[in-house]
Structure formats: C-alpha cells, structure tokens
Chain A
Amino acid sequence: AQKITQTQPGMFVQEKEAVTLDCTYDTSDPSYGLFWYKQPSSGEMIFLIYQGSYDQQNATEGRYSLNFQKARKSANLVISASQLGDSAMYFCAMREPPNSNSGYALNFGKGTSLLVTP
C-alpha cells in the first residue's frame, strides 16, 4: 500500500503568490518523521524541511512551512512568495521506526511538479 500520497501531479503558481503542495501519509506508528525534498531540473535532491510526529508546532524554514494536521495525516508544504527558481519537482517522504525491511529509509511519494510563472 502506498504510504505517501501526493495527489497533485502538476501545479501552476504565479510569481510572488503562495502555493500549497499536498501530502497525505499512512502509518499506524505514533513515531515518525516527515520530510520534503525539492528536485530541480538539474536532478539533485535538496532537503527542504522536516516535521516530527511529536512536534507541537508546524515546521518553518524561510519561505517554506509545513501545515501538519496529525489527525488527518496530512503534511502539506506551503511555499510563500513563489520565485521562478521554485519551479521543480517536490517530494514528500516519511521515515517510520526502523525495522528489518527498511532500516532508516525514507518512503517517498510520487512527487508534484510545480511551475512558477512570471
């Protein structure tokens, strides 16, 4: 079963506007971590932001914030004041407690392609 679901294959946003990228996750464990990564057209994977399951406040990193709704099992990424350089693929990922099948792996969603237009 898919553990991370990103329902928006592609999104458009105008420069300087805010945009929300959706992510829902599936786990029965109370301890987990949620990550967002950015993959520009050059291909590298860039870590953006982290939210722990026990964190009381939503994570923020500069223009990135995470709208964490634990009861709904959602961890949406909000990018404020979009810039042309934000055009990229964005991946949501989850780390659950290690077990023999995954070690310390991240489970990734299929990604959302964001295009920022002038």
Chain B
Amino acid sequence: NAGVTQTPKFQVLKTGQSMTLQCAQDMNHEYMSWYRQDPGMGLRLIHYSVGAGITDQGEVPNGYNVSRSTTEDFPLRLLSAAPSQTSVYFCASSYRRPGITYNSPLHFGNGTRLTVT
C-alpha cells in the first residue's frame, strides 16, 4: 500500500523556470491538499481539492496552480519560480465522506525539497 507518493524528492530550479510537483494517492481519498513548510512557520496550506474537478485556494496560493482531473492525482504547478518559493512541499490527503471525515487524519507524502536560485 503506497499511500501518498510525491515526486521528485529534490529539485533545484532557476528563477523564472516552471515545474510540476506530482502527487498521487491510492487510498481513494476525496480530499487532497498541498502545504509548504518553512523554518519557524509550521505548515501553510497552498491549495486543496475536495474531489475531482474541484479545487480552491488556501492561505498562500500565489505563484501556484493546481488541477484535479482524477481522484488519485493532484499536481502542483509552479508557473515562474521565485527564490521565495524555496521550501519543502507536502501533499496530503484524507477522507471527506460524512461520518468519517472529521476525525480523519491527513496522510502525508514524504515531501519535495525545492530550491530556487
């Protein structure tokens, strides 16, 4: 059981380059989300999705795009990388069906460490 799989594990970009961080889950979770983790800041929500075809912005969405064409996949796109986007990115998913949503923990991928020079 793979859980949440993120690729790549590490990435170095130059300012202005674009890239896509991949995220896939095999637990049939309706809810998927992207967080970024910066030192001393905890985890901050970038974008989230409550089901295929539905996405919305979180706390820090600027500079990022997402799409959700299938239940399994939730890629995060950096349109034009900036040094301020140097961070560790986590994809996370959980159930959202009524009755088992509220206490459903987020399952995290292992993270992508991104450096923008």
Contacts and interface: CB of A to CB of B under 8 A. Distances in A.
Interface stretch (A14-22, A65-73, A101-109): A101-109
Interface stretch (B11-19, B79-87, B103-111): B103-111
Contact of B90 (A45, A98, A104, A111): A45
Interface string A89-118: 001000100101111111111110000000
Given A91-B42, A108-B42, A47 B106 contact: yes
A44 B108 contact: yes
Interface string A35-55: 100000001110100101000
Range of interface residues on A (Cβ < 8 Å): 20 to 34
B105 A91 contact: no
Given A91-B43, A105-B58, A110-B40, 8 more contacts: A35-B105, A98-B96, A103-B56, A104-B31, A105-B48, A108-B35, A110-B41, A111-B42
6 contacts: A45-B106, A91-B43, A98-B96, A102-B48, A103-B31, A104-B31
B33 A44 contact: no
Range of interface residues on B (Cβ < 8 Å): 20 to 34
A114 to B, nearest CB: 16
A104 B101 contact: yes
A35 B103 CA distance: 9
A107 B52 CA distance: 23
B114 interface: no
A31 interface: yes
A43 B50 contact: no
